[in-house]
Amino acid sequence: MLWIKAFHIVFIASWFAGLFYLPRIFVNLAQIPADVPADSQKERERLLLMARKLLKFTTLLAVPALVSGLWLWLGYGIGRGPGNGWLHAKLLVVLLAVGYHHVCARVLRKFSENRNTRSHVWFRWFNEVPVFLLTAAAILVVVKPF
């Protein structure tokens, strides 16, 4: 069980590294003017390529992160039964994290089609969301407040 938990933490950290960095690229992309001058076109293509590769990698890491969590819960029975409100709250955080991941994929599609309307300031705030999600999940699973 401890091996699964160790890899759960490793894959969670790797998944969130992608969720932290991807919006950073969006901040940079949002600073390139819509009517992209020639010299910025290269910069834009480079950022889009980086974001596509990073999204693919982040998605690949999300799968073992979630599977190992399900294994701890359903396989080893950790958090099952009454008095484990912490896991139910944590599953809500997990759903929000998966939702955030999905929104990042949609945002990247919009940038690829030059249809983004959000400012770089908006993306700076958007970038803070995974910080709150990871903090909430870590407190729930380590402290188990309820």
**What residue ranges bind ligand HEM (CB under 6 A)?**
5, 8-9, 12, 66, 69-70, 72-73, 78-79, 94, 97, 133-134, 137-138, 141-142
3-class state of residue 114 by DSSP: coil
In this structure, what DSSP letter does residue 73 have?
A: I
Closest to ligand HEM by CB, 78 vs 105, is 78
Closest to ligand HEM by CB, 101 vs 116, is 101
Min dist CB 76 to ligand HEM, Å, is: 7
Min dist CB 94 to ligand HEM, Å, is: 4
Closest to ligand HEM by CB, 48 vs 138, is 138
Cα–Cα nearest to 88, from 140, 142, 18: 140
Any idea of the CA torsion for 95, 8, 13, 63, to the nearest 10 degrees?
-50
Min dist CB 25 to ligand HEM, Å, is: 21
Closest to ligand HEM by CB, 47 vs 97, is 97
What is the number of the residue whose Cβ is closest to ligand HEM?
69
Cα–Cα nearest to 134, from 101, 85, 103: 101
In this structure, what DSSP letter does residue 26 have?
A: H
SS3 content of the chain, % helix, strand, coil (to 5): 80, 0, 20
Structure tokens at 102: 């999905």
Min dist CB 23 to ligand HEM, Å, is: 16
Closest to ligand HEM by CB, 84 vs 112, is 84
